Amino acid sequence: MNRRLFIRNTSLATATLFSPALTKALSLNSTGRVIIIGAGFAGLSAAYKLKKKGTDFVVLESRKRVGGRVFSHNISDNLVIELGGEWVGNSHTRMRELCDELKLTLQNNQFDTHLIYKGQYSPANQWNYSDGWQKKFKKIIENYGQMSEADKIKLDKYDWWRFLVNNGCEGRDLEIRELLDSTDFGESIRHISAFAALAEYAESSEKNEMDLKIKGGNSMFANALLEKVGRQNVFTDHTVTNIIQKDKVAVHCANGKVFTGSKIICTVPTFSLKKIQWDPALPQTHINAINQLQYARISKHAMHFSKRFWKDESFDLVSDQSPHYFYHATKNQPGDDGVLISYTIGDKAASNNNQSDEYLAQDVFRCLEPHFGNIKDLLKKQTRYYWGNDQYSYGAYAMYGIGQWFGLMPVLKKKFLHTRFAGEHLADWQGFMEGAVNTGEAAVDEL
């Protein structure tokens, strides 16, 4: 992708030796040549590539399961939903190739957006932006390919909301644009780099990569990779606490186990990365970048209804009310009942997380019932997950703010002694499974 032309990997070269006593102690638990930290899609993809190359490896994962921030959940015997990563895009070539290789079926998961704005409901395809703004935005996207490096760096210095305003987006167009675009990035677009936003819209598929989903749940991808790399090589419930890098590497876990090897691929989110004690210590520039990068606060509130009252299997809806965004989470799954996910971001998500299920359900009823009738009696079950309080990431996915794409990304990508870094926060686009896979495989190529 164009953005990647500006991101370079650099090396930090220092080397010292283990003391003989320490070497002897660590060798007792020696396992693996390449130690992969994290069994999300980045870590498992790296392991799969190493497996194909015949390279020894071991994967260490803090959670009691694999998959990381991809988290499929059976809300009933016949319905599965995603409480984490949801979509595979039409342009996500590596995910599509691997799904084919792993015999996983991809199903259409595109939606046609309905709108509730200022109390008025507009069905899909019966609302749009003004003709004037549609023409302007089309021209903006067309001109993206002609932007110079200097233009892109300049654009990274301010936010996406300001960019829209500067280019004539106003009134209703601006308010709806802010609702939809903030949903994409997981926080207000007043906090998002204008370059990061424009590049995503200019380079993505027509539906902004909200195109496909794995039949049976996206966690099937992680489980299929687990079988390919060998369960005996993946250690869940192994939280890494210390990393020592000398002539070799030693990785200490909270349960007392120690793993040694020659290289490390670290795929964990920056929140978990910061908690590891590094010897030698991470460079201050890397620590500064970790401290500055934020992750999107996203809540998924799944509501299981006995009837799909929304009727449209490709239903999603954006509103200017507290629930913010809804989508049909059980598309392609047969049955009369179904699940709507109420998806909130940023301050809304943080606030909603402190409320009861009953309170949140009342919010949903207030939003939808004037337009869809009484749905209270149809509600069977609720479940939710707030990624803003996830103990490993404290957010759903990375969010590059003003001045951070060109400021933080190159620093976070730098290798450190024997360690390469990977994960969705280092991908072309944040928040997609494709990005995690790409970075995991790229780390192997660097080795």
Question: What CATH number is associated with residue 51?
Answer: 3.50.50.60
What's the predicted TM-score (pTM) here? 0.92
Q: Give the pLDDT confidence of 48-62 residue by residue, as tens digits.
A: 999 999 999 999 999
Q: Could you give the 3-state DSSP secondary structure of residue 138?
A: helix
Contact, 233 vs 47, CB < 8 A? Answer: yes
Contact, 430 vs 314, CB < 8 A? Answer: no
User: Residue 429: its pLDDT value, please?
Assistant: 87
Q: Which of 203, 226, 241 is the last residue of a domain?
A: 203
User: Residue 26: its pLDDT value, please?
Assistant: 36
Contact, 81 vs 73, CB < 8 A? Answer: yes
- Structural domains counted in the chain: 2
Q: Which of 146, 168, 203 is the last residue of a domain?
A: 203
Could you give the maximum distance between any two Cα atoms of the chain, in Å?
A: 75
Q: Quick one: 231 and 284 in the same domain?
A: yes
Q: Quick one: 409 and 266 in the same domain?
A: yes
CA dist list (Å): 135 to 130, 170, 227: 9, 14, 50
How far apart CA 80 and CA 219 sit, in angstroms, is: 10
Q: Which of 135, 170, 203 is the last residue of a domain?
A: 203
The residue range of the domain holding 158 is: 112-203
User: Residue 5: its pLDDT value, please?
Assistant: 41
User: Residue 32: its pLDDT value, please?
Assistant: 52
User: Residue 36: its pLDDT value, please?
Assistant: 98
Q: Quick one: 134 and 165 in the same domain?
A: yes
Structural domain includes residue 162: yes
Structural domain includes residue 304: no
Q: Give the pLDDT confidence of 70-79 residue by residue, as tens digits.
A: 999 999 999 9
Which residues of the chain fall short of a pLDDT of 70?
A: 1-32
User: Residue 109: its pLDDT value, please?
Assistant: 97
Amino acid at 335: G
**DSSP label of 281:** P
